[in-house]
């Protein structure tokens, strides 16, 4: 048993986010994923992945620990076709065994976005019905979840802990401490494919209406919700019950 595993096993049966964060603050991404798995077990742990431009790295780390850890993919109804192709390619390459596509309900879409223009008039509401609410539904069976946020992405992500309490369950950020250079090293070392849109200037890929290319020198997330003060879709800033 390595030092990280020893620290995790020394906390209570239901470890708190603070306890785990203290134990894992200097841990590698793989050690964080392994600790999350040990803390709650595979049936209670899920990974949220957008299968975006940087997603392959965390998916690779998770697959190396246990490729059967459930992966939640939010199919918002506005994704690029290239993202679906990338998802399928990574599933096959990494041997992911349990990828679950989750969509907003037709009832909600008919009631709140019948003309499919909510993204323009109220992007926060659009993200709520297409991401936040479907994720809350998908996470109900789980006690903890993994996501790919990194401190170097800035804004609301600049000070994230390795482990947080989202009010309902444990939230693990295995890449909180990872640098851009370390992320690139994982891509190169594992020979991971790039998102098909990355070569044409999309450094961060979300929904089609709210994603644009970034110019040289811009922040990598500058192409998300361009021209608005919005920087997050809400899944990390709204309460997921």
What DSSP assignment string belongs to 20-55? Answer: HHHHHTT--HHHHHHHHHHHH-GGGEEEE----TTH
Token look-up 């309460």 returns 239
Q: Write the pLDDT tens digit of every residue in 84-98.
A: 999 999 999 999 999
Token look-up 């309902």 returns 168
**HSE of 129 in the Cβ direction (CA atoms, 13 Å)?**
20
The pTM score is: 0.89
Q: Percent of the chain beyond pLDDT 70?
A: 90
- Greater model confidence, 217 or 104: 104
Residue 222 CA to residue 171 CA, distance in Å, equals 25
Q: Write the pLDDT tens digit of every residue in 15-74.
A: 799 999 999 999 999 999 999 999 999 999 999 999 999 999 999 999 999 999 999 999
Question: Residues 126, 127, 210, 233: which is the catalytic one?
Answer: 233
Pick the closest to residue 186 from 83, 90, 56, 94 (CA basis): 56
Catalytic annotation present for 127: no
pLDDT at 128: 96
Q: Percent of the chain beyond pLDDT 90?
A: 71
Architecture of the domain made up of 3-210:
3-Layer(aba) Sandwich (3.40)
pLDDT at 225: 83
């Amino acid at each position: 048993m390595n030092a990280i595993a020893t620290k995790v096993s020394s906390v209570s049966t239901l470890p708190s986010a603070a306890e785990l964060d203290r134990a894992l603050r200097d841990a590698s991404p793989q050690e964080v994923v392994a600790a999350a798995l040990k803390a709650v077990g595979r049936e209670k742990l899920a990974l949220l992945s957008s299968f975006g431009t940087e997603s392959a790295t965390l998916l690779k780390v998770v697959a190396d620990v246990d490729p059967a850890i459930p992966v939640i993919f939010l199919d918002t109804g506005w994704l690029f076709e290239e993202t679906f192709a990338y998802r399928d390619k990574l599933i096959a390459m990494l041997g992911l065994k349990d990828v679950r596509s989750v969509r907003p309900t037709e009832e909600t879409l008919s009631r709140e976005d019948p003309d499919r223009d909510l993204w323009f008039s109220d992007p926060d509401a659009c993200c709520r019905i297409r991401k936040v609410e479907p994720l809350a539904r998908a996470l109900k069976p789980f006690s903890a979840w993994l996501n790919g946020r990194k401190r170097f992405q800035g804004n609301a992500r600049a000070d994230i802990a390795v482990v947080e309490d989202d009010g309902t369950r444990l939230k693990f950020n295995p890449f909180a401490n990872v640098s851009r250079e370390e992320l690139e090293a994982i891509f190169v070392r594992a020979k991971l494919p790039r998102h098909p849109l990355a070569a044409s200037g999309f450094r961060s890929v979300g929904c089609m209406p709210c994603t644009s290319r970034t110019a040289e020198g811009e922040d990598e997330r500058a192409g998300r919700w361009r021209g608005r003060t919005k920087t997050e879709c809400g899944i990390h800033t709204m309460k997921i019950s």
